Structures are given as C-alpha cells and as structure tokens.
C-alpha cells in the first residue's frame, strides 16, 4: 500500500500543475494520494481527468489558521468539493489574499523595489496568491538571485515587507471540514516554531495528526505517534512536496510510515466516500 496525503500544486505554492503532479504520482507508484493546496480547491477542477484507474485521489485542502501564538495548519480530507459553504470560504480566502498581496507589493515599492502587482497576479493565474508568487517575481525582475534570498531579506515573517494575514481559527477550520463531510488532521506538528496546546486542538474536534512527515525526526515521529495513540485519533503520512527546487522537495511516496496506522485512516475516509475520486 503506497500512500501520500500531503502535496501542493501551482494552484497554491507548489511548482507543478495538477496534471504534472499526477504524472509524478503515477511514476512514484502511489495508490492513494491527496493534493492539499493552501486554502483552495482549484486543483480539483481538473485533476480527476488525469487520475488513472487503480489510483485513488482523496480530495483535501490545507487550511492556514490563526492561533494565539502562530499559524497552525489543518488538513481536511475526504471533502465534498461541491459543498457551497466550503467553496465560499475558498473564494473569501482568495479575495483576502489578493488584498494582502497588494499591501505587500505596496510595501516593497516603498522600499524601492519596482515590482508590478499585475505581474504577481499573473503568476497566480487568477487563483490564490502566496508569498512564493511575490518572491518569484522579485527574482524574475533581478532584485534577488533566489527565491530563498527574497524570503530571507524581505518576505519571511518579521521581515520588512511581511504583513500579517488573518485566517480562520483552528476550531472554525475543523468545523468547516466536518461540515463538508471530511476528517480534520493537524499538519506537521513537529515543525512549528511556537508552542501550541494539543489538548485544545483535540477538544476542538481534530480527527488525526500527520505523524509521518517528511521533516519529522525519528524522535518527533515517535512523540506524535504516542500523542495520537493517547487521544485515540488517526495517524496520517505526508511528504508536503512543493516541487523539485522548492524547500520541500521530498518526492511523494518516500516518507516511511506504519502501514496499519495509516490504513485505519484510509478505511474511515473510503467508508465515508465523500468526494473520493474512485
């Protein structure tokens, strides 16, 4: 059983199109996968036509949420992508991000960077704007030699052009996921650079934890496995692939995981059958 439930396309901050990512997934021999773009379901407008028989795509989305100490990411799986309130949520987040990107561009322009907002918008192709689009435009115009340098110098949190972006709370995201027929999973718990209360997240209704994650150390994996067992919630696996030249280049299907643990989550999702592409 080959499974990977966390990866991104260029509908958010990934490098590959939905078609290109599915081609890579097939090359990697995955049987079950999810595209989990940030705050958008745009990939699911086209991805079904590229998924071959024998491969199952479980519709998913990564919700960027606001917490008291920082931004938690909540993964929603088995979502009904036609659920109107979820579509409205995505539209709202898209509009908020466009306004947010405009403010960042204005800030950069005030520092002397001749960056064009319309060029950034073109990179987003009418979809959701992420900081990667802004960084890539800064590189294209010659302001920086690499995307990483642009982030480090002006775009990362706390940098001169960093502007806070308000999102839903984790409780609101979890409720939306459940309303859309899905299961909610706390993404990559071992990489947050701020404290958060797992008891609170569990009380809010989280269904699982992304225990098996590309950037988790063996000790972190074991820690979060024990946490999931303690609360009797599901465990999932994800590489968080963003592209071959991104900061998350680990290929789909290459994160080790305990098959039986992940199988229990898959069985629940496939039983619910909400929006699963069979």
Provide the residue ranges of all domains of the chain, joining segments of one domain with +.
3-88+169-274, 95-155
Assess whether the region 3-88+169-274 and the region 95-155 belong to the same CATH fold. Answer: no
- Whether 36 has a pLDDT exceeding 50, the answer reads yes
Instruction: Tell me the pLDDT band of 277, cut-offs 50, 70 and 90.
Output: very low
CA-wise closest residue to 27 among 57, 55, 58, 60: 55
Phi, psi of 129 (to 5 degrees): -95, 135
Per-residue buried b or exposed e for 60-74, using 16+ beta carbons within 10 Å of the residue's own CB: bbbbbbbbeeeebbb
Half-sphere exposure of 27 (CA within 13 A, CB side): 8
Instruction: Tell me the pLDDT band of 173, cut-offs 50, 70 and 90.
Output: very high
Provide the pLDDT for residue 193.
86
Homologous superfamily of 3-88+169-274 in CATH?
A: Metal-dependent hydrolases (3.20.20.140)
Of 21-35, 69-83, 121-135, which gets the smallest average pLDDT? 121-135
CA pair distance 34, 58, nearest whole angstrom: 5
Provide the pLDDT for residue 278.
40
> How many whole angstroms from its chain centre is CA 121?
20
Instruction: Tell me the pLDDT band of 35, cut-offs 50, 70 and 90.
Output: very high
Q: What is the dihedral of CA 247, 211, 171, 176, to 10 degrees?
A: 80
Phi, psi of 249 (to 5 degrees): -95, 0
Beta bridge partners of 186: 74, 209
Tell me what the mean pLDDT of segment 46-72 comes to: 93
Tell me what the mean pLDDT of segment 35-56 comes to: 95
Say what the pTM is.
Answer: 0.92
At 153-172, the pLDDT tens digits run: 999 888 999 998 888 999 99
**In this structure, CATH architecture of domain 95-155:** Orthogonal Bundle (1.10)
Mean pLDDT of the chain: 94
CA pair distance 208, 170, nearest whole angstrom: 13
Instruction: Tell me the pLDDT band of 275, cut-offs 50, 70 and 90.
Output: very low
Tell me what the mean pLDDT of segment 236-247 comes to: 94
At 86-111, the pLDDT tens digits run: 999 999 999 999 999 999 999 999 99
């Amino acid at each position: 059983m080959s499974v990977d439930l966390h990866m991104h396309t260029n509908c958010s901050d990934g490098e590959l199109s939905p078609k290109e990512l599915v081609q890579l997934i097939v090359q990697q021999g995955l049987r079950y996968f999810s595209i989990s773009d940030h705050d958008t379901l745009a990939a699911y407008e086209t991805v079904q036509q590229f998924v071959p028989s024998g491969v199952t795509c479980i519709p998913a989305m990564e919700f960027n949420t606001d917490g008291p100490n920082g931004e938690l990411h909540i993964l929603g799986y088995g979502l009904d992508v036609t659920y109107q309130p979820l579509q409205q949520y995505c539209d709202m987040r898209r509009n908020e991000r466009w306004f947010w990107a405009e403010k960042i561009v204005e800030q950069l322009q005030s520092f002397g960077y001749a960056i064009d907002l319309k060029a950034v918008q073109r990179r987003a192709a009418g979809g959701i704007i992420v900081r990667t689009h802004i960084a890539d435009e800064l590189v294209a115009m010659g302001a920086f030699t690499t995307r990483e340098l642009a982030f480090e110098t002006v775009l990362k949190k706390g940098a001169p052009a960093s502007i806070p972006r308000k999102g839903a709370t984790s409780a609101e995201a979890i409720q939306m996921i459940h309303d859309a027929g899905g299961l909610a999973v706390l993404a990559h718990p071992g990489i947050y650079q701020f404290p958060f209360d797992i008891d609170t997240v569990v009380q809010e209704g989280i269904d699982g934890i992304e225990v098996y994650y590309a950037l988790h150390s063996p000790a972190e994996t074991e820690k979060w496995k024990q946490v999931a067992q303690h609360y009797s919630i599901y465990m999932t696996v994800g590489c968080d692939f963003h592209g071959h030249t991104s900061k998350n280049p680990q290929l789909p299907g290459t994160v080790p995981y305990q098959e039986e643990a992940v199988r229990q989550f898959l069985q629940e999702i496939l039983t619910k059958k909400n929006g699963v592409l069979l």
